[in-house]
Chain A
Amino acid sequence: MNFDPRYSGRSFSSVGTRPIRPDGVDKVTGRARYGADFNMAGQLVGRVLRSPHAHAVIRKIDTSKAEKLAGVKAVITAADLPDLTDGDAAMYDILDNCMARKKALYDGHAVAAVAAIDARTARQALKLIEVDYEVLPHVTDVDEAMKHSAPLINDAIFTEGLEEKPVKPSNVYKRTQYGHGDVHQGFAEADMIVERSFKTEQTHQGYIEPHACVASVNPDGTADLWVCTQGHFVYRQHCAQLLGLEASKLRVTSSEIGGGFGGKTHVWAEPVALALSRKAGRPVKLVMTRDEVFRASGPTSATSIDVKIGARNDGTITAAEATLRYSCGPYAGMWAEIGAMTAFACYKLENVKTVGYEVLVNRPKTAAYRAPSAPMAAFAVESAVDELAKDIGMDPVDFRIKNAAQEGTRASYGPVYGPIGIGPTLEAVKNHPHMKAPLKQNQGRGMACGFWFNFGGQTCTDLNIGMDGSVSLAVGTVDVGGSRASLSLVAAEELGIDYSQVKAVVADTSSLGYNDMTDGSRGTFSSSMATISAARNAIKVLRERAAQMWDIPVDDVVWEKGHAVAKGEKHGNLGKLSLKEIAAQSGKTGGPIAGHSELVADGAGVSFATHICDIEVDPETGSTRVIRYTVVQDAGKAVHPTYVEGQYQGGAAQGIGWALNEEYIYGKDGRLQNPGFLDYRIPVCSDLPMIDTQILEIPNPNHPYGVRGVGETSIVPPLAAIANAVSNAVGVRMTHIPMSPPRILAALEAEREG
């Protein structure tokens, strides 16, 4: 592969325009097929039995009564999913999370499943399964779980990352540390120090489409899986490994996906559906209920974070330190570590230290949620930064500008930054009219910054040119928010043709090479790189065919604006050949014309955003209203600006929900109290104002068009921006997210009582 990914500084004719997405009409007419919209002949209904206990030994499961019920075709337990993980600890955790093996580790943990001829029979069968539990003490709070007296969730966990291996097991899976310099020295140099502790509650990605799949295992060992997922190739690998299937014989088709936000990067029900189908000998459709989605899939970490930051009176930060404790659910994770890496990434710091603790609790296995772990760390750090700016009498934007990381700064997580956008987003915010707009009584304005790494990864794309000159683009990253439009624009740009001539589809696992998960804001970044590469390969073929048609050397043919052009004096009378003309002759010049690409899209540029918001607080009730909201973020290059804006707005809205009302509420019994959209309160239309956006374009040097990922960063600043706004509105520093009305009112009352 001789693909050159470097930024070329070229001008664009398609990229940067805003055409209608290719999958749009299907989606506004109800024809688009999502996870639950697919059916197979002879299909059964799958349902999962879940533990009502937060922590319990499974002594025995008796499925005999359920098996005898008329219409039940298969009942499975962990015994039907034998351990084929071969010492791979991460895969074993996935297996155990799909179906509890020895212990139920959280309210909602799957313990058995049935396949029956209809939903009613399946429901009845679940009631006939008898599980003998030995209920154990449980722990759901992250701080409680760290105490020596806490119930032990896994006695094989001995904290990693300590100087000496501990002699006793604990709920702390791992300690990690990042930073450089000497924070003790740095704090000694500070004129002012802010030190505070913060908590954030667990949230769910809240995608509107529950997990859904249709699995069909044939007697010959081949299988099909239709599923809503962010990464069908990864699902294929995981399912094949857990079921003992050959990966190439398991075809996974990615349905339209009704939201993921990281929550559809993990298998849950899919191996169960395959196991049911294998046992029943018939296709099985398994769709989670909303209750199951909340209890058993998704959530992000609950956290407890201590932050200490010191600065000189001139506004220079001299030292910054944070201790971050993140819940992982009942399995090992690396969530605190990501928090520790991202916490101070926006700043240029001589002395910085962060320590992360991964904490096991009796809650669902923590899953990625849009820039996972970064929003909570940013909430703590950006709250403290705001307070410090106030304490030394500096404008919060100026204070951040003074300390902002720039090209050449050593990031708090290690490497030195290339060209980055934190400074420009802050300058844009400083000059934004929003910052100067007047505020009314009980209103406050807050701002905050956010960082996310962005990923690339393995990517494979096919570009096929039909004989009529139209182009089909087959990609392997999942379209979670309009990427088929963006990738069609990129193909059109590179080939020099019109957008309307390109049609992009998401190919299944048997039609295209492996693609990594569509995560880390990589969809458009990675697949556009592969699309450019595939288009360049196709252009090479197009030039060869034109050369044949003209009977001249291929080196004399160049590609310009969608046409082959013969170069040189001697070819002066040849004119040019359009893509369409070359395609029409392809049958006679060597067959179909295509361009393929398989590459690792590395070098995703890091991403920064700064948000501004105005909040009104009712001091009598603690009720809040978001009055105005502005997102400023670097996109590198916005391929389809409307969908970039959409990512900014959507991330901000999720952050607003998290900041104000969304949380997992557990009862003393360890059961989730609010597994539904009624009491897990995501923002509704009337909760939000218009969300203004400003796209900055600081080209990524590692992408031909300068593209950076844009999907995740927008959820990082809102928690802190809103906390700062509330603090400015009512004069009380809020340290516990979500800032629900009871929490705000309690804080106000405490302040009034002095």
Chain B
Amino acid sequence: MRYIRPQSMEDAVGLLAGAAGPAAILAGGSDLLVRMKGGFVEPELIVDIKAIDGLSEIRETADGFSIGAAVPCAVLGEHAALKKAWPGVVEAAKLIGSKQVQGRCTIVGNLCNASPAADSVPALVAAGARAVIAGPSGKRTIPVEAVPTGPGRTSLAKGEIIEAILLDKRAPHAGDAYQRFIPRTEMDIAVVSAGVNLTLDDAGVIKSARVAVGAAAPTVLLVEEAAQVLIGSKLDEATLERLAKVCAGACRPIDDKRGTIEFRRKVAGVLAKRVAATAYERAGGK
């Protein structure tokens, strides 16, 4: 086993692309070290990407925000502009694990771990976030929902590294929100979760919407039909009920140690309603 801390993205990509055995990328390590401890992975090479220039920064650009792959989730919560623009994304990132874990874990790691229950992913999907990927054949940018392909699997090719997550600049009258259901108040993995991102017109009518549901299918679901339910409404009671029904219906959950199929369906709808209401309020709707 080797541990290497490259200084440049080129070196990191080269190391990963050239690795003979299994290789792992280390940013926050809060998933990787747990899997190593349990004997589920035994990487031959660990590439620590934290020394790479720019990867530990949040940059505010003309187009929005670029969040480096090595930025711990705790730092997202400390970035006032990001928090103001994308409160749903930040609250999702701040729900992962404990304070201790938030000092280390990253949203890119959360995405690449490819758990259907990952907290930050439904919020990122709802936000329309994109992932910037560096690899042996250059850079590409894809929507975040295209990264996980199933539990523990991603669309990344050998040698590819996500270097940043991009979030758009906010239009006026926009808001997002995220909630998950957990049995305790902290320290749990989402049993089911929902993220909603809304833009309103000047009259408070929803003109665009994205709704994502987590822990309800092998990957996070982007529920187009739910967005259609919301668009054109002012989030009246009937709309919320329809939203709940559509989200519950879109779920393809399983029974496991964290919850039942019936529970996940029902609560997915409940959360979607609650989250939509919060997002609507944040967007300035009443």
Binding site for B on A (CB under 8 A): 123, 291, 620-623, 660-661, 665, 673-674, 677-679, 681, 683-687, 740-742, 745-746, 749
Is there an interface contact between B187 and A623, defined as CB atoms closer than 8 Å? no
Query: Is residue B258 contacting chain A, with contact meaning CB distance below 8 A?
Result: yes
Cα separation A621 to B260 with both chains bound (whole Å): 12
Name the B residues within 8 Å of A683 (CB-CB).
184
With A291-B38, A621-B267, A678-B189 as contacts: A746 and B184 at CB distance below 8 Å? no
Query: Is residue B263 contacting chain A, with contact meaning CB distance below 8 A?
Result: yes
Query: Is residue B121 contacting chain A, with contact meaning CB distance below 8 A?
Result: no
Cα separation A686 to B95 with both chains bound (whole Å): 13
Query: Is residue B259 contacting chain A, with contact meaning CB distance below 8 A?
Result: yes
How far, in Å, is B240 (CB) from chain A's closest CB?
12
| Binary CB contact string for chain B from 159 to 201 against chain A (1 if under 8 A, 0 otherwise) | 0000000000000000000000101111111010000000000
Among candidates A622, A665, A684, residue contacting B184 with C-beta atoms closer than 8 Å: A684
User: Given A665-B257, A740-B183, A742-B263, 8 more contacts at CB 8 Å?
Assistant: A291-B38, A620-B270, A673-B256, A678-B189, A679-B189, A683-B184, A741-B181, A749-B262
Interface size on B, residues (CB 8 A): 21
Select the residue from B181, B256, B258, B262 with max chain A CB neighbours within 10 A. B258
Among candidates B39, B187, B257, B266, residue contacting A745 with C-beta atoms closer than 8 Å: B266
| Binary CB contact string for chain B from 8 to 23 against chain A (1 if under 8 A, 0 otherwise) | 0000000000000000
14 A-B residue pairings within 8 Å (CB atoms): A621-B181, A660-B183, A685-B186, A686-B185, A686-B186, A687-B184, A741-B191, A741-B259, A742-B259, A742-B263, A745-B263, A746-B263, A749-B262, A749-B266
Name the A residues within 8 Å of B181 (CB-CB).
621, 623, 741
Name the B residues within 8 Å of A679 (CB-CB).
189, 257-258
Among candidates A660, A674, A749, residue contacting B257 with C-beta atoms closer than 8 Å: A674
Name the A residues within 8 Å of B266 (CB-CB).
745, 749
Binding site for A on B (CB under 8 A): 38-39, 181, 183-189, 191, 256-260, 262-263, 266-267, 270
How far, in Å, is A618 (CB) from chain B's closest CB?
9
How far, in Å, is B41 (CB) from chain A's closest CB?
14
Is there an interface contact between B262 and A746, defined as CB atoms closer than 8 Å? yes
Is there an interface contact between B270 and A621, defined as CB atoms closer than 8 Å? yes
Closest to A290 in B: B37
Cα separation A681 to B191 with both chains bound (whole Å): 13
Is there an interface contact between B186 and A681, defined as CB atoms closer than 8 Å? no
Is there an interface contact between B185 and A684, defined as CB atoms closer than 8 Å? yes
With A621-B267, A745-B263 as contacts: A673 and B187 at CB distance below 8 Å? no
Closest to B262 in A: A746
Name the A residues within 8 Å of B185 (CB-CB).
684, 686-687
Cα separation A620 to B241 with both chains bound (whole Å): 13
Closest 10 CB pairs of A and B: A742-B263, A686-B185, A673-B257, A665-B257, A620-B270, A661-B183, A742-B260, A674-B257, A686-B186, A687-B185
Closest to B266 in A: A745
Cα separation A687 to B188 with both chains bound (whole Å): 12
Is there an interface contact between B39 and A123, defined as CB atoms closer than 8 Å? yes
Name the B residues within 8 Å of A684 (CB-CB).
184-187
How far, in Å, is A592 (CB) from chain B's closest CB?
51
How far, in Å, is B224 (CB) from chain A's closest CB?
25
How far, in Å, is A672 (CB) from chain B's closest CB?
10
Name the A residues within 8 Å of B183 (CB-CB).
623, 660-661, 681, 740-741
Among candidates A620, A681, A685, residue contacting B188 with C-beta atoms closer than 8 Å: A681
Name the B residues within 8 Å of A660 (CB-CB).
183
Cα separation A291 to B183 with both chains bound (whole Å): 21
With A620-B270, A742-B260 as contacts: A678 and B38 at CB distance below 8 Å? no
How far, in Å, is A242 (CB) from chain B's closest CB?
30
Select the residue from A621, A674, A740 with max chain B CB neighbours within 10 A. A621
Name the A residues within 8 Å of B38 (CB-CB).
291
Is there an interface contact between B189 and A741, defined as CB atoms closer than 8 Å? no
Name the A residues within 8 Å of B39 (CB-CB).
123
Cα separation A621 to B273 with both chains bound (whole Å): 12
With A291-B38, A741-B263, A746-B262 as contacts: A681 and B184 at CB distance below 8 Å? yes
Name the B residues within 8 Å of A123 (CB-CB).
39
Closest to A661 in B: B183
Closest to A663 in B: B257
Among candidates B188, B260, B263, residue contacting A678 with C-beta atoms closer than 8 Å: B188
Closest to B274 in A: A620
Name the B residues within 8 Å of A661 (CB-CB).
183-184
Name the B residues within 8 Å of A742 (CB-CB).
259-260, 262-263
Cα separation A660 to B267 with both chains bound (whole Å): 18
How far, in Å, is B69 (CB) from chain A's closest CB?
24
Closest to B181 in A: A621
Closest to B38 in A: A291
Name the B residues within 8 Å of A746 (CB-CB).
260, 262-263
Cα separation A291 to B187 with both chains bound (whole Å): 18
Closest to B271 in A: A621
Cα separation A683 to B188 with both chains bound (whole Å): 11
Name the B residues within 8 Å of A686 (CB-CB).
184-186
Cα separation A410 to B181 with both chains bound (whole Å): 49
